[in-house]
Homo-oligomer: A and B are copies of this chain.
Amino acid sequence: MNERPAIKPYVIGLDLGGTNSVFGIVDSRGEIKATTAIKTQGFDNVEDYVAAAVEALQIIIDQVGGIGYIKSMGIGAPNANYYKGTIEHAPNIVWGKGIVPLADMFSKALGIPVAMTNDANAAAIGEMAYGVARGLKNFIVITLGTGVGSGIVVNGQLLYGHDGFAGELGHVTMVREGGRQCGCGRTGCLETYCSATGVARTAREILSKSDKPSSLRELDPEKITSLDVSIAAEKGDEVANEIFRFTGKMLGEACADFAAFSSPEAFIFFGGLVKAGELIMKPIREAYDAHVLNFMKGKAQFLVSGLDGSSAAVLGASAIGWDINPNE
């Protein structure tokens, strides 16, 4: 190692979610020194959002000694364009319509460089910097949350594609005829089956198609969540287990196609659904082994994110910040 003493030892990480915007000041070992948060949605326009963010940030910036100790800022956000530092047509953010130059706005307000990427890419960079992907150069992070996101790392670098929007694996088509309607306007996308919302849809479908007894029948079908399914499955509920087998099988088959693309050494799963543990991971691995090219069998690891859920996204975003002029 050839490290000289860092003059600016911290970066700011911002996990910009649909509900909350969580900020952390992070050192180079991935320790979060201070955090704060504001609501993402309580603002009519992006100017008010940035002003409120900077006001909240000022307090924790002062806690670590002032802006002079902050090297840069990294943002993980939905619909983020890495090349341009913009949020583009984010359907779930009130002030995110059109093209919003958020990185530039924070950079001007704080006087430091700011980089931005989408939340799944931030998760991938976070895993590489601080998580289970340390030392790996070819892997795919799949985030199983409200949607299905992905961050693809190839030869140690995040895959951005020509326009910064590569890695939309939640929107590969898994069911070509009669697939579920997706929020993207198309049908049959992986996300419609394997997101938390997709799992709830599967639950309603399976419950309505059979008479098998299940504790899930005690719930209002329209209000079943993936967490309900997870709790029932852990108690041995057969229908709940069938729901996870269906979900895992589709994820495993999708990963077999992803392997034909980038031949990763690991798939890393991240997000709420992963809390189901082996209930979901086992059918993923089994479907993968049954569907991947023969000569690739047994080569890829299936890992679960090792980062603490609440701080992982902030760490991932902060890692984007370290990537700005890394030699400075």
Contact = CB atoms under 8 A, between A and B. Distances in A.
Contact of A262 (B161, B171, B257, B294): B161
Contact of A261 (B157, B258, B263): B258
A176 B264 contact: no
| Chain copies in complex | 2
Could you say which interface size class chain A belongs to?
35 or more
Interface string A158-184: 011111111111011111100000001
A102 B294 CA distance: 23
A233 interface: no
A171 B261 contact: no
What DSSP secondary structure best describes chain A's contact surface? loop
Nearest to A261: B261
B295 A165 contact: yes
A278 B264 CA distance: 35
A161 B140 CA distance: 11
A138 interface: yes
B294 A163 contact: no
A152 interface: yes
A265 interface: yes
A307 interface: no
A261 B172 contact: yes
Contacts of A174: 176
Given A160-B155, A161-B138, A162-B138, A167 B89 contact: no
Contacts of A263: 160-168
A185 B258 contact: no
Contacts of A296: 165
A15 interface: no
B256 A299 contact: no
A204 interface: no
A134 interface: no
A321 B175 CA distance: 42
Given A173-B291, A186-B293, A291-B173, A166 B261 contact: yes
Interface string A94-131: 00000000000000000000000000000000000000
A174 B257 CA distance: 10
A276 interface: no
A184 B264 contact: no
A172 B264 contact: no
A259 to B, nearest CB: 8
Contacts of A165: 263, 295-296
Nearest to A296: B165
Contacts of A160: 155, 263
The 5 closest A-B pairs by CB, nearest first: A161-B263, A166-B263, A162-B265, A138-B162, A168-B260
